[in-house]
């Protein structure tokens, strides 16, 4: 694809009307000062305030402003997904709408992608202006994400300010609440040159955070687990479940044989032979065999499902000659 602009800025937003004019002016200032051709894609994620009117006004006066309006609130990931689909720039930069991310970072992010050859550069809010209740869990979250994803050089997976080579955003699918793990998605899609840049962070100027509450951590961890699982075994469920199932079944079976043999031996040699059901090993053996069978079946079902999946043969092909 021939890129139409140097940069596409994708801004997902939910009820951020007050911030938008200032954000637009700031981005434009930076772009013009650096001579970039650019577009700004505002993705209005079902805002209930004036956000869409503001975007309409901006786009009437400025040809570089594009807008996508969701009929209802779907979440930040779907908003990014649609922005990514629409983006036509050589480099795509995502940015929160709340003025917490600074457009002044754009030129250096652009340089890192185009000159240093990064596929993805994530912002790192080293000094954050968020309440402690947010920063401490975030540290934990990032440590786990680093371990699971194997991307050890990232401090801040969930920073809204990121830059991508265009191919990256066209080849990843950000769904559900997966925006927290975009670097991991990119890595799983084969884009491994992932870097980080320390960025300025500011306190929210207008409105309040859209991600309050504890359940974002619970959901965050569950998402991480599914990603990890999908990436490690998604294409070959039988390899995990089948292995575990067979192993458990075998142990259970051997234990059964031992329990049975004991009984027969006792009977044959005339020593007192208690009922097999009075031995705890009997129950352990039984449970192991049942669980083993179930795991095996789960693996087999998983295998059937993944064989029927529509995208089972979607591989990332970088080049063909
Ligand atoms: N956002 C969105 N859809 C939502 C929630 C948030 O598009 O359902 C946008 C929000 O408007 C902002 C960005 O995602 O531009 C980050 O949200 P926020 O600033 O509330 O998150 P925080 O900085 O507190 O983590
Ligand atoms: Mg914010």
- 207 Cα nearest atom in ligand 1: 20
Residue 87 tokens read as: 């983006």
Judge if 98 and 67 occupy the same domain.
Answer: yes
CA dist., res. 21 & res. 261, Å (int) = 82
Q: For 99-124, how does the pLDDT look when each residue is reduced to its tens digit (9 = 90+)?
A: 999 999 999 999 999 999 999 999 99
Judge if 248 and 278 occupy the same domain.
Answer: yes
- 130 Cα nearest atom in ligand 1: 24
Structural domain harbouring 176: 5-234
Judge if 137 and 222 occupy the same domain.
Answer: yes
Q: Which residue, 180, 204, 234, sits at the end of a domain?
A: 234
Judge if 270 and 132 occupy the same domain.
Answer: no
In a domain, 305, yes or no: no
Judge if 121 and 253 occupy the same domain.
Answer: no
Determine the distance separating the centroid of ligand 1 and the alpha carbon of 15, expressed in angstroms.
9
| CA-nearest residue, atom 10 of ligand 1 | 13
The pLDDT of residue 210: 87
In a domain, 307, yes or no: no
In a domain, 12, yes or no: yes
Question: Torsion angle, CA of 102/108/114/120, rounded to 10 degrees?
Answer: -50
Q: What percent of the chain has pLDDT over 90?
A: 75
Judge if 226 and 290 occupy the same domain.
Answer: no
Determine the distance separating the centroid of ligand 1 and the alpha carbon of 81, expressed in angstroms.
14
The pLDDT of residue 278: 87
Question: Which CATH number belongs to the domain containing residue 181 in this structure?
Answer: 3.90.550.10
In a domain, 227, yes or no: yes
Give the pairing of strands 89-94 and 162-165: antiparallel
In a domain, 287, yes or no: yes
Q: For 220-236, how does the pLDDT look when each residue is reduced to its tens digit (9 = 90+)?
A: 889 999 989 888 888 88
Q: Which residue, 180, 213, 234, sits at the end of a domain?
A: 234
Between 128 and 111, the more confident residue is: 111
Residue 110 Cα to chain centre, angstroms: 23
Q: How many domains does the chain have?
A: 2
From the CA of 100, the nearest ligand is 2
Judge if 141 and 112 occupy the same domain.
Answer: yes
Ligand 1 pocket mutation pick from 10, 12, 48, 201 by most atoms within 8 angstroms of CB: 12
Q: Which residues does a 6 A CB cutoff place in the pocket of ligand 1?
A: 12-14, 16, 45, 73, 75-76, 79, 96-98, 100, 160, 209-211
Whether the predicted pLDDT of 1 surpasses 70: no
State the DSSP string of 203-272: ---SS--S--STHHHHHHHHHHHHHHHHHHHTT-HIIIIIHHHHHHHHHHHHHHHHHHHHHHHHHHHTS-
In a domain, 317, yes or no: no
Please give the model's pTM, rounded to 2 decimal places: 0.86
Q: For 48-97, how does the pLDDT look when each residue is reduced to its tens digit (9 = 90+)?
A: 999 999 999 999 999 999 999 999 999 999 999 999 999 999 999 999 99
Judge if 29 and 139 occupy the same domain.
Answer: yes
Whether the predicted pLDDT of 138 surpasses 90: no
Contact in structure between 108 and 163 (CB atoms under 8 Å):
no
Ligand 1 pocket mutation pick from 11, 14, 48 by most atoms within 8 angstroms of CB: 14
Determine the distance separating the centroid of ligand 2 and the alpha carbon of 62, expressed in angstroms.
25
In a domain, 319, yes or no: no
State the DSSP string of 123-181: EE-SS--S-HHHHHHHHHHHHHHHHHH--TT-S-TT-S-EEEEHHHHHS----TTGGGG
Neighbours of 214 (CB within 10 A): 9
201 burial via Cβ count (<10 Å: 0-12, 13-18, 19+): buried
The pLDDT of residue 213: 73
210 Cβ contact partners less than 8 Å away, ≥ 6 residues apart: 14, 15, 76
In a domain, 123, yes or no: yes
182 Cβ contact partners less than 8 Å away, ≥ 6 residues apart: 80, 120, 122, 157, 162, 172, 174
Whether the predicted pLDDT of 274 surpasses 90: no
Determine the distance separating the centroid of ligand 2 and the alpha carbon of 99, expressed in angstroms.
8
């Amino acid at each position: 694809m021939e890129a139409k602009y140097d940069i596409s800025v994708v801004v997902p937003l939910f009820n951020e009307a007050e911030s938008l004019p200032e954000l637009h002016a700031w981005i434009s200032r930076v772009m013009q000062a650096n001579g970039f051709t650019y577009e700004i894609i505002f993705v209005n994620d079902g805002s209930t305030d004036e956000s869409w009117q503001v975007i309409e006004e901006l786009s009437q006066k400025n040809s570089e402003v594009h807008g996508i309006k969701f009929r209802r609130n779907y979440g930040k990931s779907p908003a990014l997904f649609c922005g990514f689909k629409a983006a036509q720039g050589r480099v795509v930069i995502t940015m929160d709408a709340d003025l917490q991310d600074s457009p002044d970072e754009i030129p250096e992010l652009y340089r890192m992608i185009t000159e240093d050859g990064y596929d993805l550069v994530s912002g790192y809010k080293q000094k954050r202006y968020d309440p402690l209740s947010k920063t401490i869990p975030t540290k934990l979250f990032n440590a786990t994400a680093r371990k699971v994803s194997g991307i050890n050089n990232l401090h801040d997976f969930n920073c809204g300010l990121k830059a991508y080579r265009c191919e990256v955003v066209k080849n990843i699918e950000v769904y559900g609440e997966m925006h927290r793990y975009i670097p991991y998605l990119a890595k799983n899609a084969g884009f491994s040159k992932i870097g980080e840049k320390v960025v300025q962070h500011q306190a929210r100027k207008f409105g309040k955070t859209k991600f309050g509450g504890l359940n974002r951590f619970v959901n965050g961890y569950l998402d991480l687990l599914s990603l990890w699982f999908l990436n490690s075994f998604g294409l070959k469920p039988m390899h995990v479940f089948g292995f575990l199932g067979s192993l458990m079944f075998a142990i259970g079976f051997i234990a059964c044989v031992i329990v049975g043999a004991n009984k027969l031996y006792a009977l044959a040699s005339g020593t007192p032979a208690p009922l097999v059901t009075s031995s705890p090993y009997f129950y352990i053996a039984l449970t192991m065999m049942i669980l083993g069978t179930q795991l095996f079946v789960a693996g087999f079902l998983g295998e059937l499902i993944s064989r029927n999946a529509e995208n089972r043969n979607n591989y990332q092909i970088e080049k063909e000659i």
